[in-house]
């Protein structure tokens, strides 16, 4: 099993709060991704990174931001959480062959 970690696993937070979802991988992968997924639904790419200091917005518009200061760390930040942000957020990294490895996800509920 690949070594990619997300914290927290579950988060319930009030509207307007700032939150940061953590994602770390120990495999040295350059490419990392953030996906948003509602239960039973498709994966929506919201951010991706090709390496340190390289980040791009994904196909789904998102009010979140990301940073990639270190290869192993790719945190996602919501400056002001809203109920519409309630979802599961999945972080992934991919190896040289393009195979993706996912973290266990963060289930976010904004009340």
Partner 1 sequence: GQQVMQIPQYQHVQEGEDFTTYCNSSTTLSNIQWYKQRPGGHPVFLIQLVKSGEVKKQKRLTFQFGEAKKNSSLHITATQTTDVGTYFCAGPGGYGNKLVFGAGTILRVKS
- The H-or-E segment that residue 102 falls in is strand 100-102
String of contacts with partner 1 for each residue 1-30, x by CB under 8 A: ------------------------------
Query: The tokens 């270190």 sit on which residue?
Result: 70
Can you tell me whether residue 83 is helix, strand or coil? helix
Q: How far is the CB of 15 from partner 1 (least distance, A)?
A: 26
* Residue 109 engages partner 1 in binding (rule: CB under 8 A): no
Instruction: Tell me which stretch binds partner 1 (CB under 8 A): 10-18, 20-28, 42-50, 78-86.
Output: 42-50
Asked if 87 contacts 38 with a C-beta cutoff of 8 angstroms, the reply is yes
Beta pairing, strands 10-13 & 106-110: parallel
Binding site for partner 1 (CB under 8 A): 31, 33, 40, 42-43, 45, 48, 50, 56, 59, 90, 92, 94, 97-105
């Amino acid at each position: 099993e690949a070594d990619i970690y997300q914290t927290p696993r579950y988060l319930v937070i009030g509207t307007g709060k700032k939150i940061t979802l953590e994602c770390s991988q120990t495999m040295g992968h350059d490419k990392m991704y953030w996906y948003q997924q509602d239960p039973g639904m498709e994966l929506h790419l919201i951010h991706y990174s090709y390496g340190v200091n390289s980040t791009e917005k994904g196909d789904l518009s998102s009010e979140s931001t990301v940073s990639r200061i270190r290869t192993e760390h790719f945190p996602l930040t919501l400056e002001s959480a809203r109920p519409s942000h309630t979802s599961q957020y999945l972080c992934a990294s991919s190896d040289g062959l393009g195979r993706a490895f996912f973290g266990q996800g963060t289930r976010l509920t904004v009340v």
